[in-house]
């Protein structure tokens, strides 16, 4: 829980690329707002993402889910994100801000491994 609290303070106490909020009753539930990256079809858009931490964070990845409807080959209609660091390549030193940066990069440059994403979405 200390790690989650520290990350939240770090992201809200400095100029961050992201707007972060959290459920006042549950430290394990956050909401992030990200901007669509310049030069992408999402430029100028604002997108809401729910973040849910598991009890064993940072040893397991938080669950990131788009709440804003978005059409993207690596994001399911339910908002699930096909990103390796949120599945098999999670590493405990990763922090929420770096994951959000990866998601922003994914919006600008979709992963072309669509079959893998379709398989992952079915899980």
Active-site option among 82, 96, 107, 117: 82
Per-domain boundaries in the chain: 2-122
Q: Which tens digit of pLDDT belongs to each residue from 73-105?
A: 899 999 999 898 998 899 999 999 999 999 999
Query: Which pLDDT value is given to residue 90?
Result: 95
Q: How is 64-96 classified by DSSP, letter by letter? A: EEE-S---BTTB-TT-BB--GGGTTT--TT--H
Predicted structure pTM score = 0.87
Active-site residue flag, 117: no
Instruction: Tell me the CATH number of domain 2-122, given options 3.10.110.10, 3.40.1210.10, 1.10.287.3510, 3.40.50.1860.
Output: 3.10.110.10
Contact 18, 97 (CB under 8 A): yes
């Amino acid at each position: 829980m200390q790690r989650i609290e520290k990350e939240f303070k770090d992201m809200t106490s400095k100029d961050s690329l992201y707007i972060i909020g959290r459920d006042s009753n549950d430290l394990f539930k956050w909401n992030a707002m990200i901007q669509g990256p310049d030069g992408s079809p999402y430029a100028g858009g604002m997108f809401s993402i729910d973040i849910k931490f598991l009890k064993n964070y940072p040893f397991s990845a938080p669950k990131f889910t788009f709440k804003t409807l978005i059409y993207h080959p690596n994001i399911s209609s339910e908002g699930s994100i096909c990103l390796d660091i949120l599945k098999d390549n999670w590493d405990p030193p990763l922090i929420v801000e770096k994951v959000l940066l990866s998601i922003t990069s994914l919006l600008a440059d979709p992963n072309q491994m669509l079959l893998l994403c379709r398989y992952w979405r079915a899980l």
